[in-house]
Structure 1
């Protein structure tokens, strides 16, 4: 999975994550979701920085393994690019590209992709059924209820009942709904193996380690079809 982001530095958020209520919280959540950058400039910058080459002009990805950015939390996107830049998260392409994206452009790019319409579901995947998977019922149960006997919390507890992501304090749990199957599978496997460790809470590594390969495949298929 994408994992959780926390401690978003005051690039576009000088939001001190203090207790906010009512309209103040709603406004803060809106900034986290859509960002405060200029989406028009972001579209231009995303093209100049070659973001669209892999992620598409609409943020829906151009390959099965490329994550869809459309509708994702702007603050989460910024955090991930910064992690690629610092080495906290690694990827053959993004680790090279991220250091060349100026902070000002990053804020605008994140605002642009966050405002794109999230991929509609359900959608078919060319890879569906190629790997052994637990049943869809098992995947749904893990997503909605978790597995208390194994100490696995429900995915929905953090990522929201509709998998559109959620914010709790200073922790952003990204949207997973309609994400690329191959990407979801790969990220859960990376969490399980400890290859990815940029989760602010550390929860994803512990959770994924308890999932079988069949459960990972089933969850990836389930989420990609929402």
Structure 2
């Protein structure tokens, strides 16, 4: 299984609270994730991202087990031009800071269901890029930031293990084309990759455990 290195969520939560950030309430986050808020016209997150964050829709990301600080950052970024996506931008702007924190904590506490690579013909290429990068074009190994098993690095880099191929590929293409600009590092790296390389690494990531 993908690991979160030596991250202790309780310590991280206490540190964030001490620094003035809202203290996370995963139970409230789970309730909002599952049911939304009809009074505000806010739909259940689960309707797109699946029960407990395990999306069954290939174009919608799996969020179960995702690093809480990363989820929170993305919800904030959706309210800015750096990551403008019509559906998520609309709903992220409806959430309070506390609700963003609570939903992120809830998702981090959920168990992610594994995915699987689909294309055996590109598996070696995907593995090579993920583990070793593309040296002659300055593409760093994905593992150097996201971990050997795709568990991510809390507070900095997201969990990737088991993510849908279609979603990962779409994000790499968004970074490359500039539609997504909330990570300068990923924007620079994606611009150095071909479509074939992005497809291969996205498929390899889907099979990481």
TM over 0.5: yes
Distance 1:24 1:63 in 2: 30
Check whether the contact 1:134–1:217 (CA below 8 A) recurs between aligned residues: no
Residues 1-226 of structure 1 mapped to structure 2, 5 A cutoff: 27-28=11-12, 36-46=23-33, 47-48=35-36, 49=42, 50-121=44-115, 123=116, 128=118, 135-167=122-154, 172-199=156-183, 202-226=184-208
Superposition TM-score, scaled by structure 1 size: 0.77
Shifted more, 153-162 versus 83-92: the winner is: 83-92
Distance 1:30 1:152 in 2: 36
Distance 2:182 2:200 in 1: 24
How many residues matched?
191
Distance 1:40 1:74 in 2: 14
**SS of the residue aligned with 2:156?**
strand
| Long gaps (5+) in structure 2 | 1-5, 17-21, 37-41
Superposition TM-score, scaled by structure 2 size: 0.83
- Given the superposition, is the C-alpha separation of residues 165 and 214 from structure 1 closer, same or farther in structure 2, using an over 3 Å criterion? same
1:26 to partner: Cα distance: 8.9
Q: Which of the two has greater helix per residue? A: 2
Could you list the runs of 4 or more consecutive aligned residues of structure 1 that deviate by over 6 angstroms after TM superposition?
22-26, 29-32
**SS of the residue aligned with 2:52?**
coil
**SS of the residue aligned with 1:166?**
coil
